[in-house]
A = this chain, B = another copy of it.
Amino acid sequence: MYVTSPVSTLDTDTITDTEAAGGYPPLTRTINITAGHSLFYEGDEADFIYEMIEGVVRTSKVLLDGRRLVLSFGYPGDVIGLSHDGIHHCNCEAVSKVRLRVYPGNTASAEKAGHTKFTNRLLHHAASEINSMQEHFIMLGRKSATEKVASFLYTLFLRVGEKRDGKTCFDLPMSRSDIADFLGLSHETISRTLTVLRQGGYIELPRKHRVCIRQPVLLKTLAERN
């Protein structure tokens, strides 16, 4: 349905080794992925855990009839690929040019190997992720289209916004359909809502994939009320 580039999993030729750092198991390395390519698919063996260094990935699930849901957008610092049973239960694709750190092993093997400090880091990340997923539940289950889009933009504003002459701007590398599937809306609704927010003076859209927040406080109000 959402056809991306012909698929190659990992650009192994771009792999560069790094030394083991504090609390990490040895043999970690970094890899690069170009936009549109996949990191792993649902059903793949979960042999590695990834930590985002640069760029944006999206994790998604697809139903038989083609309906898709984007579970998360991964930004630098996020941990990707945790699994409880050694199998990935979602797809993961690069939305932009991406650099990741790769850790061999996953939940089960980390336990066996007894990398206590690493396991603790994972647990903290997992608990943290559960918390932000719970916030997202409210988004999906109880918010209007305007609240959803405003919340989404406000979250990115806080996380990746760069202040520049009075406005705070950031890239929106994912497509409108990606955002729609993340928020449980149609891509038309995303488009319309962005237009409404622009006309209302909340945001500017200098380019299709670039947003500037003009009124963060008002945007936050929109995100929380209606």
The interface of chain A, by Cβ under 8 A from chain B, is 61, 63-65, 67-69, 71, 82-85, 89-90, 107-108, 110-111, 114, 116, 119-120, 122-131, 133-134, 136-138, 140-142, 181, 183-184, 224-226
Residues of B within 8 A of A120 (CB): 111, 119
Do residues A107 and B133 form an inter-chain contact, with CB atoms below 8 A?
no
Query: Does the CB pair B137–A69 fall under 8 Å?
Result: yes
Which partner residue on chain B sits nearest A116 by CB separation?
B116
Interface SS of chain A: helix, strand, loop or mixed?
Answer: helix
Verify A65–B225 contact, CB threshold 8 A. yes
The quantity of this chain's copies bound in the complex is 2
Minimum C-beta distance from A127 to chain B (A): 4
Residues of B within 8 Å of A85, CB to CB, are 128, 131
Q: Are A127 and B84 in contact (CB under 8 A)?
A: yes
Report how far A225 CA is from B67 CA in the complex, Å. 10
Instruction: State whether B111 touches A114 (Cβ < 8 A).
Output: no
A83 touches B127 (CB 8 A): yes
Q: Which residue of B lies closest to A62 (CB)?
A: B138
Which residues on B sit within 8 Å (CB–CB) of A61?
134, 137-138
